[in-house]
Structure 1
Amino acid sequence: MLSFTFGGKDSFQDFGIFVASRPHLPSPERRVTYIDVPGMDSWLRRDEGTYGDITLSVECSFLGDPVPKISAVKGWLLGAGEADLTFSHIPGRKYLAQVVNSIDFEIVLKITSHFVILFNCQPFQYATENTPIVVTDSSGYVLSNPGTVKALPVIKAIGSGSGALTVNGSTVSFSDIDGTVTLDSMVQETYQDTGTSLISKSSTKTGDYPMLFPDDNVISFSGGITSLEITPNWRWL
């Protein structure tokens, strides 16, 4: 029996909801602008290198009497906001998703026990296991990306003073490391995590945020940096 987890809860174990049929998993649309230039054959293409969101339509059904569960299910689906979405038949992968349709269970359940949930998802599948990788080899550590698109990692540099981090030949420099400094490529922010607050360190950093491309990536560091913790955020189309 197929099920899904969303916002930390299992559809079947917590609510008696199972997936009636495997959902279609569409590919995201690449953002490309086509410009018609007079006197030029074909189109001028401007490829942004990014992708639009996808929508997953999940047909579900209740096992047993659904009426006592309606309020709890509404609170779960609509109250979770954007959260991790996993399916029992797709091990090791997750979506970042949010429910976007309003389901009137009272009306639906008078007719059938089946209903459809629409999830708006970020374009990619992500790895469910995203354990930080500790790097102590400063001279040229090789990290292989198993995904199909570039990953936007979170890299924590540990050390003091000034230092430099190089990923695939692109260098990021820091002028004031005080224990740790974190580069978050997903949100394009540089900060120090004190455990109770995040302190912006953008003014102490120069260089572009790192990306990890499919296949091998060479990582090195120097200066006051003694080690790295890399949360890779692997992803697939």
Structure 2
Amino acid sequence: MLANKLIVKNKSSTDYGVFIQYPFTLVNTLPEITAVQIPGHSGDLLTNNTRFQNVTQTLNLYIEKPQEYETWSSLSMALNDWLYSFDYQPIIISSLNDYYLEGYMSQAPVITPQDDMIATGSVAFNCKPYLKRIDGIDFRNVPSTVMGIETINAKPAFHIKGSGVLTLTVNGQKYVLNGVDDEIFIDGEKEWIYKHDLNQNRMPLAQFPNNDFPELVPGKNTISLSGNYSLFEYKPNWRRLI
């Protein structure tokens, strides 16, 4: 039985005649714990490294070769061109419904032909230990009150068009930006502040409490911005552990 489709870079696997086979099993993450053996002491000493491990998510594929691909090799190269990246990207699997993975291809597509038109195969992604909500993937206007809908903190991104001194207040904490020139992005996941792209560093403008980036907690969050600005939007990045 065929399963669902894979969407990466706004393109669907069905464009290539590719479907994800049942059963699809989501790989769960584990906390990273260091175990130290101590002579004369039974039982390891455990240290919580306060992080969760990435997972390798393998997808088993069923493939019906489209007519525009004369050989399996040409289709394999097209799949590789589509899926490779140098950074994490959204990995949308339709059966996950409201969620998506963030990952990069760690095993190129492997195709095993069954005949001239049908094949099976696999591809693998190295993924962050979180499922992200699809309704938190795009920028939108910032309301004064935001409800955290997951059980762990989210690390939002903010986009502001303005100038001068701007003060972002999240849950009573003030995040000051000195000398903004037209536009600024605050990326809580990357912990980076920039202008138009990541290479335009604006980190020296920030005066953040304890040098921490703002987070959105489960439940009620309050957000406001003061200063000279014309646009204030955010991407909440709602997430849960896999």
Structure-2-length-normalised TM-score: 0.77
Corresponding residue SS for 1:100: strand
Structure 2 matches for 1:30-179, cutoff 5 A? 30-35=31-36, 45-63=46-64, 68=70, 70-79=72-81, 80-82=83-85, 83-105=89-111, 108-109=112-113, 113-129=119-135, 130-135=137-142, 141-179=144-182
Contact kept, 8 Å, 1:56 with 1:119, in 2: the verdict is: yes
What is the identity, as a one-letter code, of the residue corresponding to 1:86?
A: I
Paired residues, number:
228
Residue by residue over 1:144-190, the C-alpha shift from the partner in whole angstroms, topping out at 9 and shown as x without a partner, is 12233322211123433223222223321122123332211121111
Deviation string for 1:92-146 (max 9, x for gaps)? 32212333224553xx32588322222222221222342323237xxxx221122
Partners of 1:127 and 1:235 within 8 A in 2: yes
Identify if the C-alpha distance between structure 1 residues 21 and 166 changes in structure 2 by more than 3 Å, giving closer, same or farther. Answer: same
Cα deviations across residues 18-50 of structure 1 (Å, max 9, x unaligned)? 222132112211223344568989665443332
For structure 1, which segment, 182-191 or 122-131, has the greater mean C-alpha deviation from structure 2 after superposition? 122-131
Root-mean-square deviation over aligned CA pairs: 3.1
Q: Distance in 2 between matches of 1:189 and 1:51?
A: 21
Q: CA 1:85–1:176 in structure 2 vs 1: closer, same or farther (change >3 Å)?
A: same
Q: Does the residue aligned with 2:150 lie in a helix, a strand or coil?
A: coil
Q: Are 1:209 and 2:198 matched, yes or no?
A: no
1: CA distance, partners of 2:153 / 2:228: 28
The amino acid across from 1:58 in the alignment is: L
1: CA distance between counterparts of 2:10 and 2:194?
28
With the length of structure 1 as denominator, give the TM-score of the two structures: 0.79
CA distance in 2 between counterparts of 1:103 and 1:81 reads: 10
Cα distance in 2, alignment partners of residues 218 and 38 from structure 1: 52
After TM superposition, the structure 1 stretch with the greater mean CA deviation from structure 2, 113-122 or 22-31, is 113-122
Identity across matched positions, percent: 21
Partner of 1:230: 234
Listed as ranges, the gaps of 5+ residues in structure 1 are none
Residue in 1 that maps onto 2:183: 180
In the alignment, the residues of structure 2 paired with residue 149 and residue 75 of structure 1 have an alpha-carbon distance, to the nearest angstrom, of 39
Q: Provide the secondary structure at the position in 1 that maps to 2:155.
A: coil
What is the rounded CA distance, in whole Å, between the counterparts of 2:77 and 2:151 in structure 1? 35
User: Cα distance 1:87–1:22, how it changes in 2: closer, same or farther (>3 A)?
Assistant: farther
Deviates more, 1:85-94 or 1:202-211: 85-94
Q: Which moved more, 1:55-64 or 1:37-46?
A: 37-46
Q: Could you say if the C-alpha distance between residues 230 and 65 of structure 1 is closer, same or farther in structure 2, counting changes exceeding 3 Å?
A: closer
